[in-house]
Amino acid sequence: MTNNNWRKPYWKLHLWMGLPFWAIIFFICITGTLAVVSYEITWLFNSGVRASGEAIYGVDELIKRIEEQVPNAKVLSISTLEPYLANLAYVSLPEHDFVQVWIDASTGIVGEVSIGHTFRSVIRAIHGWLLMPEIGGIFIGWYIVCFFSIPLFISLITGLIIFKNFWKSYKKPKIHTNKGSRPFWISLHKVGGIWAVWFGLIISITAMWFLVMMVLAEMGVPFEDVNKQVFISKKDLPIMKENEKIHFPNLDNSLKIANEKISGLSFIKLPSNAYEPLEISGTQRTLFFSDSVYLNPYTNEILEVRLGTNKSFLSATATFMRALHVGDFGGLWIKLIWFIFGLILSALVLSGMIMWHKRTSKKEEENAI
């Protein structure tokens, strides 16, 4: 083959990995991009989820105020997500088992009560399984979404092969803005592809892993570690009168005790029954893996400490791949990087289709003449 002829099979493969699937791959990419910053988009349009300033009220006071402002609410958990977001609590109501309540730790005011679907839950469901129903115990949508990571991965690799001297675009990226629309889209496609290839490989490889993981799970391979349940022994339960409400010790002190053991814990899961411990967890220590401290809710005695790094290989890989795929580590800056490069990846798919349309349109015009 001549200098360029050997690239032709790769160019055709690159073409056919994108052309038949461009619409659904674009849809999956753009919805995934929005899902990464779903909390931030909610923050932009809903003042009720915003933190108005520095936290003044502690956990005990926040739970008390939630119960005052949301009648019949039973708080299940409460956490601090980001400095710019209000604290997020999950509560149960008589008619609803799982309700989101946003409360500003600066004012102690409940700003938002979300019953049912939210923007975050909907956009993640659309991206994750295309809102397709479960069929015979199998989420077909999950398989479809993950399957399209394969043509995306092949497109990225073949794109590197067919783009001669692609590394030059890192030093001198050239986007032609004054040579017509087709040269513009071609140069944008090439430069965008080179700069976003690392991100595209992360997204496609992690999605292919999800596909492998689902197949293995169907075969009965366990991905979640089965840990011994932590519980309060009967002899350690407080003696209470009939219908007396359980009163836990100061939860702010519980949070302090847990953070003295492992710093950066901010998620508090309250016991659902008399035998269940108080669980305080967070990912700050490793960014990817959640550490947990279990305490006796009546005495604040530490019952057990579980480090997220003590997972089995499959469980650790599944956790790591998920965090890497969704940008759920490192806070706002990682989310913004994932969002920007998610837009570039989406634009790559769209620009590829535009290039093909312009190429075929030009050939049709020439044939007509």
Cβ within 8 Å of residue 358, ≥6 positions away: 181, 182, 185
| CA distances (Å), origin 218, targets 223, 226, 316 | 11, 18, 19
Give residue 177's pLDDT band: very low, low, confident or very high (50, 70, 90): confident
**pLDDT for the residue numbered 169:** 74
Beta strand 74-79 with 302-306: parallel, antiparallel or unpaired?
A: unpaired
Q: Order of strands across the sheet with 74-79?
A: 110-114, 99-103, 87-92, 74-79, 267-269, 278-282, 291-295, 302-306
The predicted-structure confidence for 141-162, as pLDDT tens digits, reads as follows 999 999 999 999 999 999 988 8
Q: Region 51-76: what's the mean pLDDT?
A: 95
Q: Which two tokens stand for residue 81?
A: 């997500």
- What confidence category does residue 277 fall into, taking pLDDT thresholds of 50, 70 and 90? very high
Residue 194 backbone phi and psi in degrees, to 5: -65, -45
DSSP 87-106: EEEEEE-SS-S-EEEEE-TT
Which residues contact residue 19 at a Cβ distance below 8 angstroms, ignoring those fewer than 6 apart? 353, 356
Predicted pLDDT at 359:
67
Token pair, residue 52, equals 């108005």
Alpha-carbon separation of residue 93 from 89, 97, 158 (angstroms): 13, 6, 53
Task: Report the chain's C-alpha Rg in angstroms.
Answer: 26
pLDDT in tens, 81-134: 999 999 999 999 999 999 999 999 999 999 999 998 999 999 999 999 999 988
Q: 229-247 b/e with 16+ CB inside 10 Å = b?
A: ebebeeeeeeeeeeeeeee
Q: How confident is the model at residue 2 (pLDDT cuts 50, 70, 90)?
A: low
Q: What local confidence, expressed as pLDDT, does residue 178 receive?
A: 80
